[in-house]
Amino acid sequence: MATRVPAKAAPAGWEDCFWWSNDGVRLHARRYAAIDPAPDALPLLCLPGLTRNARDFDRLAPHLAQRRTVYAVEFRGRGESGYAKDALTYVPLTYVQDVMALLQAEGITRFVSVGTSLGGIVTMLLGAMHPDRLAAAVLNDIGPEIAAEGLERIRGYVGAAASYPTWVHAARAIALPNAGVYPDWRLEDWLVMAKRTHRITREGRIIPDYDANIAQPFRVPGGESGGDLWPAFDALKAIPILSLRGERSDILAPATVKAMAKRHPGLATATIARTGHAPTLDEPEAVAAIDALLAKL
């Protein structure tokens, strides 16, 4: 059973959930208990992107928890999850094992997954390796093929050292290289992003909230996905899937979405206008598309 510690200052109603990986890393998720549980509503896992954490879902998760229990997972090396001693465990197949350890600890036999970028890769692998467990999936700006342009952009910044004296400095530093990803954002939006992705050190500096060593396997060709993902995607043909794409995405190409739809005729799709990689899932269009998918279950 996973350990649960109520969060004293959690207006959204979440509690800390800790469990152990197979190799002894203490892992963390935010657990949002269902407010008005729907009969037979399956629990839902929110799986974040490469450098992200549970705070990515601090608006979506409370909404989804109206009718079902929601877990906002933090992969090893991010947020409140422990850092791995071996950097080579920062790969998708290990994240799958870590999620399976959570499912076992919580007694979850079947679930729905909302995966952003890396979280979507983990979702596809979960469905392929444990087809009896995954009931539906949202793949947020990710598919079986990852555009080379976007990969090179991410490799250019992941793991880079950064330190800021104030949240405004951090927000402006994030905004500078990402202005084309979210062209309509104002300073207050970048501040939200900064506080989702960074933390304050004991010395009062603001730094990225992840282990810089996650970059080591990611920089190796194939390390970002673990191999050919088309077989993993094909294994999901029997379940409802929603593909979300940022209109400006440099990770998920329109041609990949078309190929996905051809191989999965029931694939639902939605494009988030004037957004790059990746939609934050705060967008009304994204929330509506996710709600529509869940309504089918």
Q: In the chain, what are the domains?
A: 3-159+213-295 (3.40.50.1820), 162-209 (no CATH)
CB 78 within 8 A of CB 101: no
Asked whether residue 7 carries a pLDDT value surpassing 80, the answer given is no
Provide the token pair at 75.
Answer: 């992969």
172: Cα within 13 Å, side-chain hemisphere: 5
| Of 9 and 56, the one with more pLDDT | 56
Asked whether residue 46 carries a pLDDT value surpassing 80, the answer given is yes
What does the pLDDT look like over 245-271, one tens digit per residue? 999 999 999 999 999 999 999 999 999
DSSP 48-66: --TT--GGGGTTHHHHHTT
- What does the alpha-carbon distance between residue 208 and residue 60 come to, in Å, rounded to a whole number? 22
Q: Is the pTM of this model over 0.85?
A: yes
Asked whether residue 82 carries a pLDDT value surpassing 60, the answer given is yes
268-272 and 111-116 as β-strands: parallel, antiparallel, unpaired?
A: unpaired
| Of 6 and 125, the one with more pLDDT | 125
